[in-house]
């Protein structure tokens, strides 16, 4: 259980709601961390900007990205 409750996507501003809906279509549900970021629209935009920058700059190779995700998950004890 999260210490901070997730927001209801329907109560978010239209720009945030559109992103959460796109996540629902892609992943089946909005991503949990984005439901927390959505409490504050400026925080949400900042987090989205960070992830967009990482997607574009750091891990252009999908295989490398998958390898890094698995390695980090294993190191922190997360079932990936």
Collapsed DSSP state (helix, strand, coil) of residue 31: coil
The answer as to whether 45 is a domain residue is yes
Containing structural domain, residue 57? 9-75
Residue 25, pLDDT score: 96
Angle at which helix 41-57 crosses helix 14-27, to 10 degrees, equals: 50
Question: At residue 4, what are phi and psi to the nearest 5 degrees?
Answer: -105, 125
pTM of the entire predicted model: 0.67
* Region of 40 on the Ramachandran plot (φ > 0 left; ψ -120 to 50 alpha; else beta): beta
Structural domain total, the chain? 1
Residue 4, pLDDT score: 85
The answer as to whether 2 is a domain residue is no
How confident is the prediction along the chain (80 residues), in pLDDT tens digits per residue?
568 888 999 999 999 999 999 999 999 999 999 999 999 999 999 999 988 887 777 666 778 878 888 888 899 888 75
The answer as to whether 50 is a domain residue is yes
Check: CB of residue 17 under 8 Å from CB of residue 38. no
The answer as to whether 28 is a domain residue is yes
Tokens of 14: 């239209």
């Amino acid at each position: 259980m999260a210490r901070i409750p997730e927001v209801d996507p329907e109560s978010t501003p239209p720009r945030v709601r559109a992103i959460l809906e796109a996540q629902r279509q892609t992943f089946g549900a909005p991503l949990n961390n984005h439901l927390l970021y959505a409490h504050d629209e400026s925080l949400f935009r900042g987090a989205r900007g960070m992830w967009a920058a990482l997607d574009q700059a750091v891990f252009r190779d999908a295989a490398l990205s998958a390898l890094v995700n698995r390695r980090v998950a294993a190191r922190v004890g997360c079932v990936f």
